[in-house]
Amino acid sequence: MSHAVELPEVSADEAAHSAQLVARIRAAIDAAGGWISFARFMQMALYEPGLGYYSAGARKIGAAGDFITAPEVAPVFSRCLAAQCAEVLDALGGGDILEFGAGSGTMAAVMLHELEALGVLPGRYLILDVSADLRERQRETIAAAAPHLLPRVEWLDRLPQHFSGVMVANEVLDAMPVERFVVRDGTVLCLGVAWGEGSFETVEAPAPNELRDRVLRLREDAGDSWPDGYSSELNMGLRGWLGSVADCLERGVMLFVDYGLPRRELYAAERSDGTLLCHFRHRFHDDPLLLPGLQDITSWVDFTAVAEAAVEAGLEVKGYTTQAHFLIGNDLTRHLSDVSGVDLVQRVNLSRQAMLLTLPGEMGERFKVIALARNCDAPLRGLAVRDLTHAL
Ligand SMILES: C[S@@+](CC[C@H](N)C(=O)[O-])C[C@H]1O[C@@H](n2cnc3c(N)ncnc32)[C@H](O)[C@@H]1O
Protein backbone atom coordinates (compact mmCIF):
# COMPACT_ATOMS: atom_id res chain seq x y z
CA MET A 1 0.00 0.00 0.00
CA SER A 2 2.95 2.34 0.61
CA HIS A 3 3.93 4.82 -2.00
CA ALA A 4 7.49 6.09 -2.37
CA VAL A 5 7.85 8.83 0.19
CA GLU A 6 10.11 11.83 -0.05
CA LEU A 7 10.64 13.36 3.36
CA PRO A 8 12.84 16.19 4.64
CA GLU A 9 16.35 15.20 5.78
CA VAL A 10 16.73 14.28 9.42
CA SER A 11 19.57 15.72 11.51
CA ALA A 12 22.39 13.57 12.90
CA ASP A 13 20.83 13.81 16.39
CA GLU A 14 17.45 12.73 15.10
CA ALA A 15 18.99 9.84 13.20
CA ALA A 16 20.85 8.72 16.34
CA HIS A 17 17.66 8.94 18.39
CA SER A 18 15.72 6.91 15.86
CA ALA A 19 18.52 4.33 15.67
CA GLN A 20 18.23 3.76 19.43
CA LEU A 21 14.50 3.15 19.14
CA VAL A 22 15.03 0.89 16.12
CA ALA A 23 17.43 -1.20 18.23
CA ARG A 24 14.84 -1.42 21.03
CA ILE A 25 12.09 -2.51 18.62
CA ARG A 26 14.41 -5.03 16.95
CA ALA A 27 15.13 -6.54 20.37
CA ALA A 28 11.39 -6.88 20.97
CA ILE A 29 11.01 -8.55 17.57
CA ASP A 30 13.84 -11.00 18.35
CA ALA A 31 12.39 -11.77 21.77
CA ALA A 32 8.99 -12.45 20.18
CA GLY A 33 10.49 -14.92 17.70
CA GLY A 34 10.79 -12.83 14.53
CA TRP A 35 7.85 -10.42 14.37
CA ILE A 36 5.55 -8.29 16.53
CA SER A 37 2.00 -7.11 15.98
CA PHE A 38 1.51 -3.70 14.41
CA ALA A 39 -0.13 -2.42 17.61
CA ARG A 40 2.99 -3.37 19.58
CA PHE A 41 5.16 -1.62 16.98
CA MET A 42 2.98 1.50 17.09
CA GLN A 43 2.98 1.47 20.90
CA MET A 44 6.80 1.42 20.91
CA ALA A 45 7.20 3.91 18.05
CA LEU A 46 4.99 6.45 19.80
CA TYR A 47 5.25 5.71 23.52
CA GLU A 48 8.40 3.68 24.33
CA PRO A 49 9.67 5.43 27.49
CA GLY A 50 12.37 7.98 26.67
CA LEU A 51 12.45 7.11 22.96
CA GLY A 52 8.94 7.01 21.46
CA TYR A 53 7.62 9.89 19.39
CA TYR A 54 5.41 11.22 22.20
CA SER A 55 7.77 10.18 25.00
CA ALA A 56 10.90 11.97 23.83
CA GLY A 57 11.96 15.50 23.01
CA ALA A 58 10.62 16.04 19.46
CA ARG A 59 8.68 19.26 19.01
CA LYS A 60 5.67 17.37 17.58
CA ILE A 61 2.72 19.75 17.62
CA GLY A 62 2.64 23.24 16.09
CA ALA A 63 4.27 25.14 13.22
CA ALA A 64 7.80 24.03 14.20
CA GLY A 65 6.68 20.41 14.72
CA ASP A 66 5.10 17.76 12.52
CA PHE A 67 1.39 18.49 12.58
CA ILE A 68 -1.08 21.03 13.82
CA THR A 69 -4.24 20.45 15.83
CA ALA A 70 -7.38 22.57 16.27
CA PRO A 71 -6.32 24.20 19.58
CA GLU A 72 -3.05 25.22 17.91
CA VAL A 73 -4.79 26.53 14.80
CA ALA A 74 -7.30 28.64 16.63
CA PRO A 75 -7.85 29.61 20.28
CA VAL A 76 -11.54 30.01 19.40
CA PHE A 77 -11.77 26.18 19.27
CA SER A 78 -10.85 25.94 22.97
CA ARG A 79 -13.14 28.87 23.83
CA CYS A 80 -16.11 27.04 22.29
CA LEU A 81 -15.14 23.83 24.09
CA ALA A 82 -14.97 25.82 27.33
CA ALA A 83 -18.52 27.09 26.71
CA GLN A 84 -19.70 23.48 26.49
CA CYS A 85 -17.82 22.55 29.67
CA ALA A 86 -19.30 25.60 31.43
CA GLU A 87 -22.82 24.46 30.59
CA VAL A 88 -22.16 21.02 32.09
CA LEU A 89 -20.35 22.34 35.18
CA ASP A 90 -23.23 24.73 35.74
CA ALA A 91 -25.77 21.91 35.55
CA LEU A 92 -23.70 19.75 37.90
CA GLY A 93 -23.27 22.61 40.35
CA GLY A 94 -19.47 22.47 39.92
CA GLY A 95 -16.85 19.82 39.29
CA ASP A 96 -13.45 19.26 37.72
CA ILE A 97 -12.13 19.05 34.19
CA LEU A 98 -9.93 16.16 33.14
CA GLU A 99 -8.08 16.58 29.86
CA PHE A 100 -6.50 13.53 28.25
CA GLY A 101 -3.42 13.96 26.07
CA ALA A 102 -3.06 17.70 26.55
CA GLY A 103 -0.31 18.10 23.92
CA SER A 104 1.40 21.47 24.26
CA GLY A 105 -1.06 22.69 26.95
CA THR A 106 -2.53 25.36 24.68
CA MET A 107 -6.09 24.11 24.95
CA ALA A 108 -5.88 23.93 28.77
CA ALA A 109 -4.56 27.49 29.00
CA VAL A 110 -7.27 28.97 26.74
CA MET A 111 -10.04 26.91 28.35
CA LEU A 112 -9.03 28.04 31.84
CA HIS A 113 -9.06 31.69 30.74
CA GLU A 114 -12.46 31.31 29.11
CA LEU A 115 -13.99 29.42 32.04
CA GLU A 116 -12.77 32.16 34.33
CA ALA A 117 -14.37 34.78 32.08
CA LEU A 118 -17.61 32.77 32.11
CA GLY A 119 -17.46 32.58 35.92
CA VAL A 120 -17.43 28.77 35.87
CA LEU A 121 -13.90 27.75 36.79
CA PRO A 122 -13.53 24.05 37.56
CA GLY A 123 -12.35 23.09 41.04
CA ARG A 124 -9.31 21.45 39.44
CA TYR A 125 -8.08 21.12 35.87
CA LEU A 126 -6.56 17.66 35.71
CA ILE A 127 -4.27 16.50 32.92
CA LEU A 128 -3.49 12.87 32.15
CA ASP A 129 -1.02 12.29 29.34
CA VAL A 130 0.92 9.14 28.59
CA SER A 131 3.81 11.37 27.57
CA ALA A 132 5.80 12.57 30.57
CA ASP A 133 7.89 14.65 28.15
CA LEU A 134 4.91 16.80 27.20
CA ARG A 135 4.07 17.49 30.84
CA GLU A 136 6.86 20.05 31.20
CA ARG A 137 5.81 21.77 28.01
CA GLN A 138 2.19 21.91 29.22
CA ARG A 139 3.25 23.43 32.52
CA GLU A 140 5.32 26.10 30.73
CA THR A 141 2.45 26.98 28.37
CA ILE A 142 -0.06 27.38 31.19
CA ALA A 143 2.43 29.24 33.42
CA ALA A 144 3.07 31.74 30.60
CA ALA A 145 -0.55 32.23 29.51
CA ALA A 146 -2.49 31.90 32.76
CA PRO A 147 -0.05 31.96 35.71
CA HIS A 148 -2.75 32.76 38.28
CA LEU A 149 -4.68 29.63 37.25
CA LEU A 150 -1.71 27.25 37.37
CA PRO A 151 -2.43 26.22 41.00
CA ARG A 152 -5.70 24.66 39.77
CA VAL A 153 -3.85 22.41 37.34
CA GLU A 154 -2.78 18.96 38.47
CA TRP A 155 -0.99 16.32 36.47
CA LEU A 156 -2.08 12.75 37.11
CA ASP A 157 -0.12 9.54 36.69
CA ARG A 158 -3.23 7.42 36.52
CA LEU A 159 -6.99 7.77 36.34
CA PRO A 160 -8.56 9.29 39.45
CA GLN A 161 -10.69 6.92 41.54
CA HIS A 162 -13.74 9.19 41.44
CA PHE A 163 -14.46 11.97 39.02
CA SER A 164 -17.28 14.42 38.62
CA GLY A 165 -17.24 17.05 35.89
CA VAL A 166 -16.16 17.06 32.24
CA MET A 167 -13.54 14.90 30.55
CA VAL A 168 -12.15 16.24 27.28
CA ALA A 169 -9.80 14.75 24.70
CA ASN A 170 -8.85 16.29 21.40
CA GLU A 171 -7.07 14.00 18.94
CA VAL A 172 -6.22 11.38 21.55
CA LEU A 173 -8.18 8.38 20.27
CA ASP A 174 -6.51 8.64 16.86
CA ALA A 175 -3.08 8.32 18.52
CA MET A 176 -3.87 4.97 20.17
CA PRO A 177 -2.19 1.82 18.83
CA VAL A 178 -4.18 -0.14 16.26
CA GLU A 179 -3.85 -3.56 14.68
CA ARG A 180 -3.61 -3.77 10.92
CA PHE A 181 -5.26 -6.55 8.97
CA VAL A 182 -5.82 -7.73 5.43
CA VAL A 183 -8.44 -10.18 4.17
CA ARG A 184 -7.15 -12.42 1.40
CA ASP A 185 -9.11 -15.27 -0.16
CA GLY A 186 -11.55 -15.05 2.74
CA THR A 187 -8.78 -15.47 5.35
CA VAL A 188 -8.10 -12.74 7.90
CA LEU A 189 -4.38 -12.03 8.23
CA CYS A 190 -2.79 -9.63 10.65
CA LEU A 191 -0.07 -7.36 9.39
CA GLY A 192 2.87 -7.50 11.76
CA VAL A 193 6.33 -5.99 11.73
CA ALA A 194 9.64 -7.82 11.23
CA TRP A 195 13.20 -6.71 10.57
CA GLY A 196 14.20 -7.19 6.94
CA GLU A 197 17.22 -6.07 4.91
CA GLY A 198 18.28 -3.11 7.02
CA SER A 199 14.76 -1.82 7.71
CA PHE A 200 11.43 -2.83 9.16
CA GLU A 201 9.05 -4.68 6.90
CA THR A 202 5.43 -5.76 7.02
CA VAL A 203 4.73 -9.46 7.41
CA GLU A 204 1.44 -11.30 7.14
CA ALA A 205 0.41 -13.95 9.65
CA PRO A 206 -2.86 -15.67 10.56
CA ALA A 207 -4.83 -13.27 12.74
CA PRO A 208 -5.27 -14.19 16.41
CA ASN A 209 -8.84 -15.40 17.10
CA GLU A 210 -10.14 -12.20 18.68
CA LEU A 211 -8.88 -10.01 15.85
CA ARG A 212 -10.17 -12.46 13.24
CA ASP A 213 -13.65 -12.59 14.80
CA ARG A 214 -13.89 -8.82 15.05
CA VAL A 215 -12.74 -8.32 11.47
CA LEU A 216 -15.28 -10.86 10.22
CA ARG A 217 -18.00 -8.95 12.08
CA LEU A 218 -16.85 -5.70 10.47
CA ARG A 219 -16.97 -7.35 7.07
CA GLU A 220 -20.47 -8.61 7.73
CA ASP A 221 -21.55 -5.12 8.86
CA ALA A 222 -20.17 -3.81 5.57
CA GLY A 223 -22.53 -6.17 3.73
CA ASP A 224 -19.72 -8.61 2.83
CA SER A 225 -18.76 -6.21 0.08
CA TRP A 226 -15.01 -5.91 0.64
CA PRO A 227 -12.79 -6.58 -2.37
CA ASP A 228 -10.12 -9.27 -2.04
CA GLY A 229 -7.05 -7.80 -0.35
CA TYR A 230 -9.12 -5.34 1.71
CA SER A 231 -6.91 -3.88 4.42
CA SER A 232 -7.59 -1.61 7.36
CA GLU A 233 -6.95 -1.01 11.06
CA LEU A 234 -8.73 -1.83 14.29
CA ASN A 235 -8.21 -0.36 17.75
CA MET A 236 -8.38 -3.46 19.94
CA GLY A 237 -7.63 -1.51 23.12
CA LEU A 238 -10.45 1.03 22.86
CA ARG A 239 -13.10 -0.93 24.73
CA GLY A 240 -10.82 -1.63 27.71
CA TRP A 241 -9.53 1.94 27.85
CA LEU A 242 -12.95 3.53 27.65
CA GLY A 243 -14.27 1.06 30.21
CA SER A 244 -11.68 2.09 32.78
CA VAL A 245 -12.21 5.79 32.06
CA ALA A 246 -15.98 5.27 32.42
CA ASP A 247 -15.47 3.46 35.72
CA CYS A 248 -14.12 6.59 37.37
CA LEU A 249 -16.80 8.93 35.97
CA GLU A 250 -19.43 9.25 38.68
CA ARG A 251 -21.28 12.25 37.27
CA GLY A 252 -20.68 14.26 34.18
CA VAL A 253 -19.79 14.19 30.51
CA MET A 254 -16.92 13.00 28.30
CA LEU A 255 -16.24 14.89 25.08
CA PHE A 256 -14.03 13.25 22.45
CA VAL A 257 -13.06 15.30 19.41
CA ASP A 258 -11.28 13.49 16.61
CA TYR A 259 -11.26 12.63 12.95
CA GLY A 260 -13.33 9.61 12.26
CA LEU A 261 -16.53 8.13 10.91
CA PRO A 262 -19.39 5.84 11.81
CA ARG A 263 -18.31 2.21 11.31
CA ARG A 264 -20.38 1.71 8.18
CA GLU A 265 -18.45 4.48 6.41
CA LEU A 266 -15.04 3.80 7.94
CA TYR A 267 -15.10 0.17 6.84
CA ALA A 268 -16.87 0.74 3.52
CA ALA A 269 -15.64 -1.35 0.61
CA GLU A 270 -14.11 1.62 -1.21
CA ARG A 271 -11.87 2.52 1.76
CA SER A 272 -9.85 -0.60 1.00
CA ASP A 273 -6.49 0.66 2.25
CA GLY A 274 -7.49 1.84 5.72
CA THR A 275 -6.83 5.28 7.15
CA LEU A 276 -3.37 5.04 8.65
CA LEU A 277 -1.49 8.31 8.25
CA CYS A 278 1.95 9.47 9.35
CA HIS A 279 3.12 13.03 9.90
CA PHE A 280 6.67 14.33 9.67
CA ARG A 281 7.27 18.07 9.50
CA HIS A 282 3.88 18.77 7.98
CA ARG A 283 4.28 16.14 5.26
CA PHE A 284 1.95 13.22 5.46
CA HIS A 285 2.30 9.75 4.01
CA ASP A 286 1.22 6.17 4.67
CA ASP A 287 4.43 4.36 5.66
CA PRO A 288 4.38 3.83 9.45
CA LEU A 289 7.63 1.87 9.42
CA LEU A 290 9.75 4.89 8.46
CA LEU A 291 11.60 7.09 10.96
CA PRO A 292 10.56 5.35 14.21
CA GLY A 293 10.37 7.88 17.02
CA LEU A 294 10.47 10.85 14.64
CA GLN A 295 7.07 10.72 13.02
CA ASP A 296 3.51 10.62 14.27
CA ILE A 297 1.29 7.65 13.35
CA THR A 298 -2.50 7.99 13.47
CA SER A 299 -5.66 6.36 12.20
CA TRP A 300 -9.28 7.42 11.98
CA VAL A 301 -11.63 6.71 14.85
CA ASP A 302 -14.55 4.27 14.56
CA PHE A 303 -17.16 6.36 16.39
CA THR A 304 -19.64 3.47 16.38
CA ALA A 305 -17.07 1.51 18.39
CA VAL A 306 -16.73 4.44 20.81
CA ALA A 307 -20.52 4.54 21.29
CA GLU A 308 -20.74 0.75 21.75
CA ALA A 309 -17.91 0.73 24.29
CA ALA A 310 -19.61 3.59 26.13
CA VAL A 311 -22.97 1.79 26.32
CA GLU A 312 -21.20 -1.38 27.47
CA ALA A 313 -19.59 0.69 30.24
CA GLY A 314 -23.00 1.98 31.38
CA LEU A 315 -22.69 5.45 29.84
CA GLU A 316 -25.32 7.30 27.87
CA VAL A 317 -24.47 8.50 24.36
CA LYS A 318 -25.59 12.12 24.58
CA GLY A 319 -24.89 12.81 20.95
CA TYR A 320 -22.53 12.84 17.99
CA THR A 321 -21.99 15.66 15.56
CA THR A 322 -19.46 17.34 13.31
CA GLN A 323 -16.87 19.70 14.74
CA ALA A 324 -18.39 22.53 12.71
CA HIS A 325 -21.87 22.05 14.19
CA PHE A 326 -20.47 21.56 17.68
CA LEU A 327 -18.56 24.85 17.49
CA ILE A 328 -21.52 26.71 16.01
CA GLY A 329 -23.67 25.43 18.87
CA ASN A 330 -21.09 26.77 21.29
CA ASP A 331 -21.06 30.42 20.30
CA LEU A 332 -18.57 30.35 17.44
CA THR A 333 -20.52 33.04 15.62
CA ARG A 334 -20.64 35.26 18.69
CA HIS A 335 -16.86 34.99 19.10
CA LEU A 336 -16.44 35.95 15.46
CA SER A 337 -18.74 38.94 15.61
CA ASP A 338 -17.49 40.18 18.98
CA VAL A 339 -14.47 41.98 17.56
CA SER A 340 -14.53 45.23 19.45
CA GLY A 341 -10.96 46.34 20.15
CA VAL A 342 -9.59 43.82 17.67
CA ASP A 343 -7.49 45.18 14.81
CA LEU A 344 -8.04 44.32 11.16
CA VAL A 345 -5.19 41.80 10.93
CA GLN A 346 -6.54 39.93 13.94
CA ARG A 347 -10.06 39.97 12.49
CA VAL A 348 -8.81 38.48 9.24
CA ASN A 349 -6.90 35.84 11.21
CA LEU A 350 -9.95 35.01 13.26
CA SER A 351 -12.14 34.43 10.23
CA ARG A 352 -9.39 32.39 8.54
CA GLN A 353 -9.15 30.22 11.66
CA ALA A 354 -12.92 29.82 11.82
CA MET A 355 -12.97 28.66 8.20
CA LEU A 356 -10.25 26.10 8.90
CA LEU A 357 -12.22 24.76 11.85
CA THR A 358 -15.59 24.59 10.14
CA LEU A 359 -15.30 24.21 6.35
CA PRO A 360 -16.24 20.72 5.16
CA GLY A 361 -13.01 20.41 3.13
CA GLU A 362 -10.90 21.41 6.15
CA MET A 363 -11.53 20.22 9.73
CA GLY A 364 -15.27 20.95 9.87
CA GLU A 365 -16.64 17.59 8.75
CA ARG A 366 -13.69 15.24 9.02
CA PHE A 367 -13.60 15.98 12.73
CA LYS A 368 -16.46 14.81 14.92
CA VAL A 369 -17.47 15.23 18.52
CA ILE A 370 -19.05 12.49 20.60
CA ALA A 371 -20.51 13.21 24.02
CA LEU A 372 -20.93 10.43 26.60
CA ALA A 373 -22.50 10.92 30.00
CA ARG A 374 -23.28 9.40 33.36
CA ASN A 375 -25.85 10.82 35.79
CA CYS A 376 -26.08 14.06 33.89
CA ASP A 377 -29.34 15.21 32.31
CA ALA A 378 -28.02 18.57 31.12
CA PRO A 379 -28.78 19.19 27.43
CA LEU A 380 -25.62 19.96 25.48
CA ARG A 381 -25.69 23.08 23.34
CA GLY A 382 -22.95 21.71 21.06
CA LEU A 383 -25.34 18.96 19.99
CA ALA A 384 -28.40 21.12 19.58
CA VAL A 385 -27.55 22.33 16.06
CA ARG A 386 -27.26 18.94 14.37
CA ASP A 387 -27.21 15.61 16.20
CA LEU A 388 -25.99 12.77 13.99
CA THR A 389 -26.25 9.96 16.55
CA HIS A 390 -28.60 8.08 14.22
CA ALA A 391 -25.70 7.67 11.77
CA LEU A 392 -23.62 5.64 14.24
C1 LIG B 1 -2.19 14.06 18.53
S2 LIG B 1 -1.72 14.52 20.14
C3 LIG B 1 -2.97 15.68 20.54
C4 LIG B 1 -2.54 16.70 21.56
C5 LIG B 1 -3.55 17.76 21.96
N6 LIG B 1 -4.75 17.18 22.51
C7 LIG B 1 -3.90 18.68 20.82
O8 LIG B 1 -5.02 18.65 20.34
O9 LIG B 1 -3.02 19.44 20.38
C10 LIG B 1 -2.14 13.08 21.05
C11 LIG B 1 -1.91 13.18 22.55
O12 LIG B 1 -2.56 12.08 23.20
C13 LIG B 1 -1.70 11.55 24.18
N14 LIG B 1 -2.19 10.19 24.46
C15 LIG B 1 -2.21 9.11 23.65
N16 LIG B 1 -2.78 8.05 24.26
C17 LIG B 1 -3.18 8.48 25.48
C18 LIG B 1 -3.85 7.87 26.58
N19 LIG B 1 -4.21 6.59 26.54
N20 LIG B 1 -4.08 8.61 27.69
C21 LIG B 1 -3.70 9.90 27.73
N22 LIG B 1 -3.06 10.55 26.72
C23 LIG B 1 -2.81 9.84 25.62
C24 LIG B 1 -0.33 11.70 23.55
O25 LIG B 1 0.71 11.59 24.49
C26 LIG B 1 -0.47 13.13 22.99
O27 LIG B 1 -0.25 14.10 23.96
Alpha carbon separation from 74 to 78, 80, 110, 139, 318 (Å, rounded):
8, 11, 10, 20, 26
DSSP letter assigned to residue 102: -
* Torsion from C-alpha of 370, 389, 304, 60, nearest 10 degrees: -30
Query: What's the pTM value of the predicted model, to 2 decimals?
Result: 0.95
Query: Angle between the 106-117 and 132-145 helix axes, to the nearest 10 degrees?
Result: 40
Q: Is the CB of 111 under 6 A from ligand 1?
A: no
pLDDT at 217 over 80: yes
Ligand 1 atom nearest the C-alpha of 296 is 1
Q: Is the CB of 171 under 6 A from ligand 1?
A: yes
What confidence category does residue 59 fall into, taking pLDDT thresholds of 50, 70 and 90? low
Q: How far is the CA of 175 from the centre of ligand 1 (A)?
A: 7
Average pLDDT over residues 64-89: 91
Cα–chain center distance at 309 = 16
Which pLDDT tens digit goes with each residue over 295-329? 999 999 999 999 999 999 999 999 999 999 999 99
Which pLDDT tens digit goes with each residue over 102-125? 999 999 999 999 999 999 999 999
- Residue spans of alpha helices (H) in the chain: 12-31, 38-47, 70-73, 75-92, 106-117, 132-145, 209-221, 238-248, 263-266, 303-312, 323-329, 332-337, 344-358
Which pLDDT tens digit goes with each residue over 127-177? 999 887 788 889 999 999 999 999 999 999 999 999 999 999 999 999 999
Mutate to test the pocket of ligand 1, among 104, 172, 235, 257 (most ligand atoms within 8 A of CB): 172
